[in-house]
Structure 1
């Protein structure tokens, strides 16, 4: 970490959309802290890619569903930043970590519901709260939602409604943190070809074709379609965007 560089924390930054976000942010001249749940090797590869771009990076393990682990995580992260930069603070929080749940409403179990809730809403709520004392005034919070908060596909009732909750929370963050000059926004990807949800969108040909057919630009999204938008929101060009939902879906289900 360089003392004069801005710093972003990207949760779930070891693969898929988070990896693309972390690398895109580094290309803007921003240092990156990224978290991974279980795959340290992949996280280390992303750190190496960022360092090859001339920025500083390091990776820390974090299960974003486990609120009890957040104090320890924030302590490790801020301790590392203090050591490397002389300050425990950072500038951008990107709450990206997530997992899929495909289950019909009538068959969704309480265990499934709680799992998705802990990652996609409770974890985001309390990690942001714990990180807030170390987020610089004038910083940014970028939460990740989904097109599924706007349109409905059977099987995503729990996931889609959690994302709707995050969109509401983001507007409250924008309002309450405004006095500190902190902007909060939502980026809502459409269906993207990654290994998210077991590679469902990428690997199932029928699903891929169906999504392409309801997307104005005529194809399924790729990770590269998303990371640059998140990186843009970390720049001065985006300083007056606040409390907004930016859907990045190629015009899906218009």
Structure 2
């Protein structure tokens, strides 16, 4: 029996990168995982295949985040699929991993970029939590994927950093709000991690080495580094941790 056997988890942005690793780890530990994706059905199916071949249980849920009624669309499709799986609509674990990036210093910032980044990175998690609370069981887990950029000065990613700072604030407020139901709310803040989203920052071996040198371990993070922390937070072993943003940057800029 896995530590998450009998649990149902929703992982947003689970088609690749950190989200894929999280979905795989939760399934490995026994959870039934809803693999959310926005556009890349091929990649989402690859995540599903990885999980099922390893003996795990999962299914796909498509919904574009950052659009009107995105939370309602996602949960309606999730509930329909759970019904077909002969499982109730209840959730135990919600991982808000889906996000988007965009570089802009203060003089390059635009209202369009601001609205887009906040819609996906901040507004979507807020209303996914709000809509999901009626199905989230007591003793549940909410885990938000933040970023080290929220607590370190990255002028070139001003708006992105702001979205993650707001997510950290949301995490703290909800931890207190939901504590009477024994629902923990935490965030995990990766640093430079080897994902598609960060590929443009690793254009040359020199660039990769420079980024790695900012960490205490002289390497970039792997998606599994983040997934292992999220999995711990999803289990009962983390029951006395709430309202925290856990630095998962490998000691970047110590």
Structural RMSD (CA) = 1.4
* TM alignment of 1:20-99, pairs within 5 A: 20-99=21-100
Contact in 2 for aligned 1:190/1:249 (Cα 8 Å): yes
1:187 aligns with 2:188: yes
Tell me which residue corresponds to 1:101.
102
Tell me whether 219-228 or 15-24 shows the greater mean CA deviation. 219-228
Tell me which residue corresponds to 2:244.
244
Shift of 1:98: 0.8
Query: Structure 2: which 5+ runs fail to align?
Result: none
Distance 1:234 1:67 in 2: 29
Q: Write out the 4+ residue segments of structure 1 that deviate beyond 4 Å after TM superposition.
A: none
Query: Structure 1: which 5+ runs fail to align?
Result: none
Distance 1:204 1:11 in 2: 30
SS of the counterpart of 2:69?
helix
SS of the counterpart of 2:85?
helix
1:211 aligns with 2:211: yes
TM-score by length of 1: 0.94
SS of the counterpart of 1:231?
helix
Distance 1:27 1:202 in 2: 30
Contact in 2 for aligned 1:64/1:124 (Cα 8 Å): no
TM-score by length of 2: 0.94
Count of residue correspondences: 250
Tell me which residue corresponds to 2:173.
172
Tell me which residue corresponds to 1:138.
139
Tell me which residue corresponds to 1:11.
12
